[in-house]
Structure 1
């Protein structure tokens, strides 16, 4: 992946997640573009890139939202590892596998958030939590997964498949 493209992508994600998306949505339920980026990078680029992205995105999101450390970091790392395994087993052009993986990861992440809140001593009603947050989040991610996959796919350098880049400059 190109360093310039990755840095620009990270800045755009940070801008979207911290300013634009809360402005457009009600604030209670909104799409999580950091989460989409983590899952899609793990699916397309493998375990190392996915886990590094998960650690950075989880830490940044915890800092931006002023959460206690690890609320987003732990589920991101777990789901990046699982998604990288699924991405390794599947074909790169299977859009339905990408959509199903992102939707499944969305539900699992919400279950992990619910479990972490319960373990930390908060009273959580799992059915109400899943109904309140899971349905809108699933719809948001369903709408955004294919455009986000296209953008994440453009992060890869076109000449990265060749051993010697200097011979294949366009």
Structure 2
């Protein structure tokens, strides 16, 4: 059941990122909803699910959007795995946790992608990247992180119902 839910979420995200989100871009920057989904899955399901879903979403995005195959899949896998490592040590009720990981994940993804593209001779002006793209994407991801995390809390948290005196 969980594999079916994650597959549907991945397909829905792919549809949103390729068709709807480019129309609501700010200064040409769109939110990285794939990263937010990977962060939420890693926070709720752990390192294995976070890493595998990150790898699958990254491969699909690389095939469709990227000029180079494998960069996004590697970075998404790494982000999902690392966040999944600390999953048991964090409170899932605190909304600041996904916001913090959204900020850190966006910075890590963007700088890693920039470094990979730099070494592959795809030049992106660093000041434009850091000032214009990164800051807007961080703000965009923070705004979208809260509703996405709330949706995932409805999907993955099983309510505990106890009958009895204790």
State if a TM-score over 0.5 links the two structures: yes
Q: Secondary structure at the match of 2:155?
A: coil
- Rounded to whole Å, the distance in 1 between the matches of 2:77 and 2:130 is 21
Within 2, Cα distance between the matches of 1:63 and 1:27? 25
Q: Deviations over 1:84-142 (max 9, x none)?
A: 12323211112112211111110111110111111112334333311121111011101
Q: Which runs of 5+ in 2 are unaligned?
A: 161-166
TM-score (norm 2): 0.86
Q: Distance in 2 between matches of 1:4 and 1:118?
A: 37
In 1: Cα distance, 2:5 partner to 2:131 partner? 37
Q: Report the TM-score when normalising by structure 1.
A: 0.84
Q: Write out per-residue CA displacement over residues 10-60 of structure 1, whole angstroms, 9 at most, x where no aligned residue.
A: 222121111111122268310111111111111111001001100110011
Label 1:91 to 1:26 Cα distance change in 2 as closer, same or farther (>3 A).
Answer: closer
Q: Count residues with an aligned counterpart.
A: 161
Separation of aligned partners in 1, 2:33 and 2:55? 15
In structure 1, the gaps of 5 or more residues are 162-170
CA contact (8 A) 1:51 1:81 kept: yes
The RMSD of aligned alpha carbons is 2.2
Question: What is the rounded CA distance, in whole Å, between the counterparts of 1:72 and 1:140 in structure 2?
Answer: 19
